[in-house]
Structure 1
Amino acid sequence: MKNSQLTSIADSWFETKGWKPFPFQKKTWNAFLDGKNGLLNAPTGSGKTYALWTPIVLQYIKDNPDYKTKHTKGIKAIWITPLRALSVEIKQAAQRFADDLETGMTVGIRTGDTSQSERAKQKKNMPDLLITTPESLMLLLASKGYDKIFKTLTAVVVDEWHELLGSKRGVQMELALSRLKTVSPQMRIWGISATIGNLEQAQDVLLGASNDNSLSAVKDNEIKDFEGSANSILIKANLKKKIVVKSIIPKKMETFPWRGHLGLHLLDQIIPILNKSKTTIIFTNTRSQCEIWFQKILEKYPEFAGEIAMHHGSINKETRLWVEQAIRNESLKAVVATSSLDLGVDFAPVETIIQIGGPKGIAKFLQRAGRSNHRPGEPSVIHFLPTHAMELIEASALKKAVKGEVMEDRIPYLLSFDVLIQYLVTLAVSDGFFPKKIFPEIKATFCFQGITEEQWQWCLNFITLGSQSLQAYDEYKRVLVDDDGRFYVDSRQTAMMHRLSIGTIVSDAMVQVKYVSGGFIGTIEEFFIGKMKPGDTFVFAGRTLELVRLRNMAAQVRRSSKKTRNIVSFMGGRMALSSQMSEILRNELQSEADHKRNTPELKALSDIFDRQELESIVPGNNEFLIETFKTREGYHNVFYPFEGRFVHMAMGGLLAYRISLLSPITFSLAYNDYGFELLSDQPLDIQNVIDNNLFSTEYLFDDLQKSLNSTELARRKFRDIAVISGMVFTGYPSKQIKTKHLQSNSQLLFDVFRDYEPDNLLYQQAFRETFEHEMEEGRLQLALERIAKQTIVWKQCEDATPFSFPIITDRLREKLSSEKLKDRIKRMTLKLMK
């Protein structure tokens, strides 16, 4: 059968449904049937699923002319989804097409939710099309005779590839695909990605470093003959989905904006939007914000009882599925949700989306906007509700980003040795492996293209001997080598423990806060406490506490009255502005600095900008603003890089350390997405800071290490690495090991490697990941380079400015209850307005 005959079968099926295939779908069908690998880039709700299920089924028809009377056994395709919740709908779409064409093909799901009986059934007779997750695919590779299972495989489709790229789950997929390429040489690899900036690199990561670089990009409005072109292709759907962004602008604008409202002061303004729409999803950025909004709507508008629901990752599966179904059949008026509803669940009836607070990234915002009118050709409407006035600048920036089609890059991981070690043990647990055969496959992946022979040998030694400093302990010698040089696992217990540990998602840990003398105060995020050194003070549960020591998973503290010690403030929410979002935000401020208030959002902020210019300036793109003023709290020094909270946390710590080298001074550090504050009890000579070039990139790595206690941060990062690499066992399903034991076990290993084996690859990886991913060192360097080219404008102000107000009030929130804070801010505002 020729390709044209095959695609006409699909055309006819689409016709029976009253649909017409998009050009990008037909191009994907042809490219697949021509034996190509590729990446499909298409917006949410545009028919991506049928773009790839269709040619997979057509390929089966082509290979089996008697398909209606004779069914060929064996798995034909694997569809990888990052979320288990998406698998049911993908199955329905595939089964519908396969059944209507009378192929007799079966579609199965294998995820963490799949029952043992269903898995046993699948082992005897695999479905033709299998929908699974990266972790479940790895479990299949850990089973005996996996090569026989996969020998009939013709395709692997990785859905939502942008969600996996830039994570260790993405590395896991790279390694799995490297093995399947050898086991199933006829297999085609396809990725589907909606929102991503670095598409070409995304394709390279998916297809491996050995992928030829002569890939051809095809858009819908281009006609291209596929015959004889490169073996891989990038197809971009030329579907301009119209996105309408509507900002909810407060009727009364504050001159001094502060954070912490959660946006609830605008609750009344969303009710008309809810009443006008059949169904609305209200997206929040955190689970606590989701819970609060749900409660407050019901409190104020009890008539919504039974018509509004909540959806987030901590809610049980049954409730989540019920909510999803209720949206489909329009029995719910609104759902308050987190990112649990960001991806691919197809809600055709959803009319409207409301985003509470800045999403911090363009991709996330577009993904959420795409949930509205999730039908090809219809515009998506998203309402932006600012939690404080300054977020209206973000709203204005997001509109520009949507119009200019700006998109974030996803940065892939390199040399993730913990994932590689887990993968090698997976192969050893199944049929064993020969290093000479596996090494070229691993080197052909994007992540490990730079691996050296020495590093490879180190990984092999690690799984067989337990590394140099652990050779005396048998539990680390998980893999044996037979006389033929095959690496294998013969212990049933080792195999079982490994299978239970497969995966790269390690949950966040909570640290208990206790007095040295005894007495439990509460729990705090490990992320917060991990960046502190003994002697640092912080405010928690209304008390000023000094950190004495971190032991296992407990922070031992004592009461403190020292006002001059370094108080590190933590201001909730880990989401930070992406680099692309930061750049557009700075451009918006530039237009404001030039007095071009050309959007409703910037016009609404007129009073704030006028007041800011009265006290200081609105910095342009070529200016770096520093403000100083004195209050009863001390001397405030506020810096505005507009680079996101993680960069500001690192830059604030770096600057405080460098200033302390010039003269003894201690600071309290506070930061948000727009800037950071160094508060001290003595005046700081800013001219001295400028003259000594303290924003230099010289000695950046060394100074960062000294300023932010990088050893402690790396120690925290090492816990995840120890779990992924299998050095620390997390426990059996019925008896999980407590987090504090996990932490103490990994800390012990960390200290052993630090003292006796500093060249240990996993130990070094902990530091590398801390700087690259936690502190965003690369982005910090670029920000410092930008500041070096800008004109530094130092404004000595009389009082707090509108720009500095949110940073100050964030720090105050750590010390005061909400009522006291409200009164304090009221007094501050009245004083400043005089």
Structure 2
Amino acid sequence: MNREQLFSIASGWFEGKGWKPFPFQTQTWTAFLQGKHGLLNAPTGSGKTYALWMPIVLDYIKSNPDYKTKHKPGLKAIWITPLRALSVEIKQAAERVADDLQTHLTVGIRTGDTSSSERTKQKKKMPDLLITTPESMQLMLASKDYPKMFKSCRAIIIDEWHELLGTKRGVQVELALSRLKTITPKMRIWGISATIGNLQQAMEVLLGPESEALQNSTLIRAHINKKINVHSIIPEKMDAYPWRGHMGLHLVDEVADIIKKSKTTLVFTNVRSACEIWYQALLDKHPEFAGEIAMHHGSIAKETRLWVEQAIREERLKAVVCTSSLDLGVDFAPVETVIQVGGPKGVARFLQRAGRSGHRPGQESNVYFLATHAIELVEASALRRAVQETVVEDRIPYLNSWDVLVQYLVTLAVSDGFYPAAIFKEVKSTFCFQAMTEDDWQFCLNFISKGSQSLQAYDEYKKVEIEEDGKFKVNSRAIALRHRMQMGTIVGDAVMSVKFFGGGYLGSIEEWFISKLKPGDVFIFAGRKLELVRVKNMEALVRRAAPGAKAVHASWMGGRMTLSAQMSELLREELYTANTPEKNPELKALNPVFTRQRKESIVPDDNQFLIETFKTREGYHAIFYPFEGRYVHEALASLMAYRISLLSPITFSLAYNDYGFELLSDQEIDMQMVLDNDLFTPRHLHADLQQSLNATEMARRKFRDIAVIAGLVFTGYPGKIVKTKHLQSSSQLIFEVFRDYEPDNLLFQQAYRETFEHQLEEGRLLMALERIERQEVVWKQCEKPTPFSFPIITDRLREKLSSETLAERIKKMTANYMK
């Protein structure tokens, strides 16, 4: 069959559905059928799934003209998705095409949720089209005779590639692809990505920097200008002294009004605890929503989540309060409106969430931004501009993730074993390991076979045996079992199941939260008031609490996100316009804040860097405003405290948020000395950072995750999970052994590198200091705290006071400062 005949089959199918293919879809079909690899850049809800399922099916029809009567069994295509929740919809899309065109192609799913009986069935007979996750893909590489399973595979699609890029799961995918390219050289590799800043690099990472695939590839962009309407929910009265404490809950009635006017609304919060609090607040204030609103986050039981997703599709729910668990690809056509509570901290995340509404080609998206404190309105106006100008973040790929490589090599050794010379070439062809030397490779081989230089005396680290012909192979069934159980790169804190005493699973919660409660304490989780009965074997057994019982909201560690580099730049630019007459509605609404700020200090321009100092009963405050995001400020605060202490001995307590940081001391800082000594210099940054932060402590924490991924510590069997503190102490022991006896160990060095590159964002820090050096430093000696400093001060108070007493304290402080 020629291309015209194949295209008429596809166009006929689209016409039958009342659709017309978009140009980007036909472009993708053409490139795929020409044997090209590529990356498709398309927004959510634009039909990108059919852009690739269709040519996969057409390619089968082309190679099998008698497809309606003769079926050729065997795996033909793999679709990798980062989220299990998406697999059902991807399967439905594939089945629609395969069944309507009478191809007899079978479609299967293989994820962590797939039953063992289904997996056994798949082992005997693979489905033609398989939907899986990066982790399950690695498990397939760990099974005996895996090349046989993949040899007939003609295509592999990596969905939501922007989500995997810049994570260790992305590195897993790179390694799996390097293997599959050798086993099935005719396989086409395609990625699907939403908009990111570095699309060209994203394709290079996917296909390999100097690969033949990259030479024969194409980048296809879907030029669909989806209209996104950004509305801010502006409170009638604006506090001159803004603070983060009330989480925007005073606007609960405005949110309820939006929900009532829409068919279905998704209310996005940034963290799970806020999700629980907002769900409760909406129900308390508007009991008529009972049965019409639900909650969705990653810690709620899977059955409940699936029920909520289905109820949205069937339009049985008016609203769902959710977290990033509904960010990606779940196709909810009925969703009309999205409400974002608090700054999403990144443009890409905001666009992703906005795209959940009007999730159909040609429909507009409506997103409402609810600021949890006044200054967040600046973020709202920055986001509106980002949406108009499509300014999106880059995703920075990982380099030299030795922990992932070590895990991958053991995976290959668990299945059929491997010969180092062949695998070295494949690994070196990936983006992540392109700079790997022979010595690095030798370290990894020694590590899995001898347990590295300093652990040679312990047999448990000698996982892989070297056979006579030089093949690396795992022959111990116990080692293979433990390895298969611990594969993956997502390392979280130990979680406990929350179960009713009489049976019934509610979800999971982090061990550290439960460890703070004692039997009889009441907490709110999954929208219910629960009383802790007892803790047994990593299970929190609970019963329903009495209705009037005082309860705390469940909270999670991954609490606070930070502004992305692009977002902080947009925020600064937006804030600098506060001094111009041309202001948008958000900045106009902030007039009371700006007026008060100017009375006590200034609102900085783009060429000014503001420092404020004042004294309260707590001590002497020095507040700096780089507007660079929480993580950069955390590092900057430590750096400045260290550099000042070199000039004169002084002790500080530090506080920071996305806008600035505070140094609080019981003695006054000589700010003129700080300015004269050029303490904002980028010179000696790395050495000073190492001195100022407890870099060793941070690297130690980072090493725990590396140790788990590399298989140095074992996280436990199902139902017998090793507690976080035990994992921490085991990995700390190994960390100290490496530090004292093997400082050039690659995993040990990786812990420090990741601390500086990913956690402290050293590159961004350097750029921030270079920018500050070019600006005029304006130091204002204030009589009292300013509106800009207020959120930072109240954030520190939150650590000490309960929310009720905090609100009262802030009321008094505000009244005092307004005098």
TM-score normalised over the length of structure 2: 0.92
Alignment of 1:425-464 (within 5 A): 425-464=410-449
How far does residue 611 in structure 1 lie from its aligned partner after superposition?
1.3
Alignment equivalent of 1:574, drawn from 560, 576, 596: 560
For residues 819 and 833 of structure 1, do their structure 2 counterparts lie closer, same or farther at Cα, with a shift above 3 Å needed?
same
Aligned to 1:123: 123
How far does residue 574 in structure 1 lie from its aligned partner after superposition?
2.1
What is the rounded CA distance, in whole Å, between the counterparts of 2:219 and 2:309 in structure 1? 33
Aligned to 1:629: 614
Asked if 1 retains the 8 angstrom alpha-carbon contact of 2:357 and 2:365, the reply is yes
What is the rounded CA distance, in whole Å, between the counterparts of 1:8 and 1:255 in structure 2? 64
Aligned to 2:308: 323
Aligned to 2:367: 382
What is the rounded CA distance, in whole Å, between the counterparts of 2:97 and 2:185 in structure 1? 26
Asked if 2 retains the 8 angstrom alpha-carbon contact of 1:355 and 1:385, the reply is yes
Alignment equivalent of 1:725, drawn from 710, 716, 740: 710
Q: Secondary structure of the residue that 1:449 maps to in structure 2?
A: coil
Q: Secondary structure of the residue that 2:28 maps to in structure 1?
A: helix
Aligned to 2:574: 588
Asked if 1 retains the 8 angstrom alpha-carbon contact of 2:279 and 2:295, the reply is yes
Aligned to 2:226: 241
Q: Secondary structure of the residue that 1:12 maps to in structure 2?
A: helix
Q: Is 2:642 aligned against 1:660?
A: no
Aligned to 2:730: 745
How far does residue 571 in structure 1 lie from its aligned partner after superposition?
11
What is the rounded CA distance, in whole Å, between the counterparts of 2:211 and 2:300 in structure 1? 42
Aligned to 2:109: 109
Deviations 1:473-499 (A, max 9, x none): 111111111121111111111111111
What is the rounded CA distance, in whole Å, between the counterparts of 1:457 and 1:436 in structure 2? 11
User: Match for 2:40: what amino acid?
Assistant: L
Alignment equivalent of 2:654, drawn from 669, 673, 692: 669
Asked if 1 retains the 8 angstrom alpha-carbon contact of 2:699 and 2:752, the reply is yes
What is the rounded CA distance, in whole Å, between the counterparts of 1:143 and 1:437 in structure 2? 19
Aligned to 1:692: 677
Deviations 1:504-556 (A, max 9, x none): 00013699xxxxxxxxxx98699xxxxxxxxxxxxxxxxxxxxxxxxxxxxxx
Q: Is 2:791 aligned against 1:806?
A: yes
Aligned to 2:505: none
Aligned to 1:703: 688
What is the rounded CA distance, in whole Å, between the counterparts of 1:732 and 1:270 in structure 2? 44
Asked if 1 retains the 8 angstrom alpha-carbon contact of 2:80 and 2:131, the reply is yes
How far does residue 735 in structure 1 lie from its aligned partner after superposition?
1.8
For residues 341 and 780 of structure 1, do their structure 2 counterparts lie closer, same or farther at Cα, with a shift above 3 Å needed?
same
Aligned to 1:40: 40
What is the rounded CA distance, in whole Å, between the counterparts of 1:8 and 1:409 in structure 2? 38
Deviations 1:7-37 (A, max 9, x none): 1110000000000000000000000000010
For residues 186 and 571 of structure 1, do their structure 2 counterparts lie closer, same or farther at Cα, with a shift above 3 Å needed?
closer
Alignment equivalent of 2:719, drawn from 728, 731, 734: 734
Q: Is 2:452 aligned against 1:467?
A: yes
How far does residue 596 in structure 1 lie from its aligned partner after superposition?
3.4
**Percent identity for Structure 1 against Structure 2:** 72
User: Match for 1:707: what amino acid?
Assistant: S
How far does residue 742 in structure 1 lie from its aligned partner after superposition?
1.2
What is the rounded CA distance, in whole Å, between the counterparts of 1:828 and 1:703 in structure 2? 37
How far does residue 288 in structure 1 lie from its aligned partner after superposition?
0.6
Alignment of 1:443-592 (within 5 A): 443-508=428-493, 573-592=559-578
Deviations 1:384-418 (A, max 9, x none): 00000000000000001000100011111000000
User: Match for 2:449: what amino acid?
Assistant: T
What is the rounded CA distance, in whole Å, between the counterparts of 2:658 and 2:117 in structure 1? 50
What is the rounded CA distance, in whole Å, between the counterparts of 2:484 and 2:307 in structure 1? 31
Q: Is 2:264 aligned against 1:262?
A: no
Asked if 2 retains the 8 angstrom alpha-carbon contact of 1:245 and 1:381, the reply is yes
What is the rounded CA distance, in whole Å, between the counterparts of 1:83 and 1:696 in structure 2? 43
Q: Is 2:296 aligned against 1:298?
A: no
What is the rounded CA distance, in whole Å, between the counterparts of 1:280 and 1:418 in structure 2? 42
Asked if 1 retains the 8 angstrom alpha-carbon contact of 2:493 and 2:511, the reply is no
How far does residue 4 in structure 1 lie from its aligned partner after superposition?
2.1
What is the rounded CA distance, in whole Å, between the counterparts of 1:429 and 1:817 in structure 2? 52
What is the rounded CA distance, in whole Å, between the counterparts of 1:446 and 1:92 in structure 2? 33
Aligned to 2:633: 648
Deviations 1:445-475 (A, max 9, x none): 0000000110001100111110000111111
How far does residue 292 in structure 1 lie from its aligned partner after superposition?
0.6
Q: Secondary structure of the residue that 1:209 maps to in structure 2?
A: coil
How far does residue 211 in structure 1 lie from its aligned partner after superposition?
3.4
Q: Secondary structure of the residue that 1:351 maps to in structure 2?
A: strand
Q: Secondary structure of the residue that 1:684 maps to in structure 2?
A: coil
Asked if 2 retains the 8 angstrom alpha-carbon contact of 1:677 and 1:807, the reply is yes
Asked if 2 retains the 8 angstrom alpha-carbon contact of 1:571 and 1:811, the reply is no
Q: Secondary structure of the residue that 1:306 maps to in structure 2?
A: coil
What is the rounded CA distance, in whole Å, between the counterparts of 1:572 and 1:463 in structure 2? 32
Aligned to 2:188: 188
What is the rounded CA distance, in whole Å, between the counterparts of 2:151 and 2:359 in structure 1? 37
Aligned to 1:136: 136
What is the rounded CA distance, in whole Å, between the counterparts of 2:624 and 2:293 in structure 1? 43
What is the rounded CA distance, in whole Å, between the counterparts of 1:510 and 1:71 in structure 2? 46
Deviations 1:692-720 (A, max 9, x none): 11111122111111111010110111011
Aligned to 2:809: 824
Q: Is 2:729 aligned against 1:775?
A: no
Asked if 1 retains the 8 angstrom alpha-carbon contact of 2:493 and 2:724, the reply is no
For residues 525 and 576 of structure 1, do their structure 2 counterparts lie closer, same or farther at Cα, with a shift above 3 Å needed?
farther
User: Match for 1:153: what amino acid?
Assistant: C
What is the rounded CA distance, in whole Å, between the counterparts of 1:510 and 1:707 in structure 2? 33
What is the rounded CA distance, in whole Å, between the counterparts of 1:733 and 1:509 in structure 2? 12
Q: Is 2:800 aligned against 1:815?
A: yes
User: Match for 1:63: what amino acid?
Assistant: S
Asked if 2 retains the 8 angstrom alpha-carbon contact of 1:105 and 1:129, the reply is yes
How far does residue 613 in structure 1 lie from its aligned partner after superposition?
1.3
Deviations 1:89-113 (A, max 9, x none): 1001101100111111000000000
Aligned to 1:53: 53
What is the rounded CA distance, in whole Å, between the counterparts of 1:444 and 1:783 in structure 2? 34
Gaps of 5+ in 2: 497-509, 515-555
For residues 442 and 523 of structure 1, do their structure 2 counterparts lie closer, same or farther at Cα, with a shift above 3 Å needed?
closer
Asked if 2 retains the 8 angstrom alpha-carbon contact of 1:413 and 1:447, the reply is yes
TM-score normalised over the length of structure 1: 0.90
Deviations 1:756-797 (A, max 9, x none): 000000000000001111111111111111111111111111
For residues 242 and 392 of structure 1, do their structure 2 counterparts lie closer, same or farther at Cα, with a shift above 3 Å needed?
same
Asked if 2 retains the 8 angstrom alpha-carbon contact of 1:284 and 1:357, the reply is yes
What is the rounded CA distance, in whole Å, between the counterparts of 2:485 and 2:37 in structure 1? 33
Q: Is 2:666 aligned against 1:681?
A: yes
What is the rounded CA distance, in whole Å, between the counterparts of 1:179 and 1:510 in structure 2? 34
Alignment of 1:191-210 (within 5 A): 191-210=191-210
For residues 417 and 11 of structure 1, do their structure 2 counterparts lie closer, same or farther at Cα, with a shift above 3 Å needed?
same
Q: Secondary structure of the residue that 2:368 maps to in structure 1?
A: strand
What is the rounded CA distance, in whole Å, between the counterparts of 1:121 and 1:695 in structure 2? 63
What is the rounded CA distance, in whole Å, between the counterparts of 2:479 and 2:232 in structure 1? 56
Aligned to 1:562: none
Q: Secondary structure of the residue that 1:40 maps to in structure 2?
A: strand
Q: Secondary structure of the residue that 2:60 maps to in structure 1?
A: helix
Aligned to 1:540: none
What is the rounded CA distance, in whole Å, between the counterparts of 1:346 and 1:717 in structure 2? 36
